[in-house]
Amino acid sequence: MIIVVDDEPDILQYIREILRHVNYEVITATSGDQAWTLFEEHQPEIDMVLTDVVMPGSIDGLELAAKIHQVDPSLPVLFVTGVLPEGDARAIGIVEKELLVRKPFSPKQLIDLVEARIRRF
């Protein structure tokens, strides 16, 4: 199961449809706060989290990843964004570790990133 997080409904639907087309089970959230709740509810079933970086609310994508990794350090968290926070060392790290696909992206770019990183049991 993949949690997909984005505050833009059209992007959220686009990602969900791409992943479902290649047979992934997907649950969605429109904020980091909502995603954290879903993670807590479904943690044993989660194979990956795919999140936007910049979102409204008390938890942005980078903070969400940090919270998830406190609970499950091995869970892949990937990022989809059009804008990265300037000078944020965490943002630089996700670029260096190739954990990011920039908007706009093709279905193939997204699938390739997910396939390369997803945790399967």
Query: What confidence tens digit (pLDDT) does each residue in 59-80 have?
Result: 999 999 999 999 999 999 999 9
Q: Which tokens in the block code for residue 89? A: 């060392």
pLDDT of residue 56: 85
Structural domains in the chain, CATH included, are 2-117 (3.40.50.2300)
Q: Does 92 score more than 90 pLDDT? A: no
| CA-based nearest residue to 77, from 111, 107, 113 | 113
Q: Is the pLDDT of residue 100 over 70?
A: yes
C-alpha triplet 32, 37, 39: angle, nearest 5°: 90
pLDDT reported for residue 65 = 96
pTM of this structure: 0.93
